[in-house]
Amino acid sequence: MSKIWIDGNFVESSEANVSVFDHGLLYGDGCFEGIRIYNGRILKLRSHIVRMFKSAAAIRLQPQHSIDEMEEIVRETVAINERKDGYIRLVFTRGKGTLGLNPFLCPTPTVFVIVEKIKLYPTEMYEDGMSIVVAKRPRVPKECLDPQVKSLNYLNNILAKIEAIDAGVLEALMLNQNGEVAECTGDNIFIIKDGNIATPPISAGILNGITRRLVIDEIAPALGYKIEQRTIMLKEVLDADEVFLTGTAAEVIGVSHIDEQVVGCGKVGKITHALEDQFRKIVAQNAPED
């Protein structure tokens, strides 16, 4: 049984509770980060916490801890759970308040840290590739809900995820309201054509994922590739030689089928494999924590 850090105390997971009057539960009013642990090191911990505080600032939620203090709390939670490899979920909620919408009637945010093991996709998918579908449900426009705020309101993603599950697969590609490729329900997407790699820009209405940035800034350049961030239409994805997804939990994983269409050779492609191998080499040897 794991220990959860919640509002200043470590408690057994079976005893960790959030009030039914917490606005995070009532209205999805809060933000979160998912973070990975590899061989005792916390991948991009600082980047995740900085993004968390930006999300909190965007919704005018003021946590009771500084960035440095929050980083130490996360490290303490990992240590007390003696977890060398696993997954961290850091959550800020608005806290306990009234049944009305007014967030400023919630005097104290709720903060908790969970450290657990995780296995998002079956191991064989990293060799054979995964099948995805194109969701009928578009992404919420960024003007309505900025995807850079990693909020607790994930219903748009969940409804698209249900489309994937109903189709017998684990992920769905979402388009924005202009019909441009945005992202999947929990992962960023990349395409490869004639050796050139591209991914949708932030302006498409996507989360600027930490793993996405790691691939763009470090992993691809280490292999001699430059990734173009540009508008991508669905036809380009369907015509691509390779397609792959990135995410904290998913890592780097190739796509074999989109709806009924085969992608490339129907398995993980050569370049995707190289990127995946480079990712695993980095996290196995000395996962960057900045």
For residues 116 and 215, give the distance between their C-alpha atoms in angstroms, rounded to a whole number.
Answer: 25
The token pair at 53 is: 């505080």
Number of neighbours of residue 133 by Cβ within 10 angstroms: 21
Strands (E), 21-109: 30-38, 41-42, 86-93
Residue pair 92/32 in contact by the 8 Å Cβ criterion: yes
- State how far the Cα of 190 lies from the Cα of 187, in Å rounded to an integer: 10
DSSP 7: T
Count of CB atoms situated within 10 Å of the CB of 286: 11
- Adjacency order of strands within the sheet including 110-116: 9-12, 3-6, 110-116, 86-93, 30-38, 41-42
Q: Which of 77, 95, 92, 78 is nearest to 23 (CA)?
A: 95
Of 150, 161, 226, 270, catalytic: 150
Of 23, 83, 75, which is closest to residue 46 (Cα–Cα)?
75
Catalytic (active site) residue 96: no
Q: Which residues are known to be catalytic?
A: 150
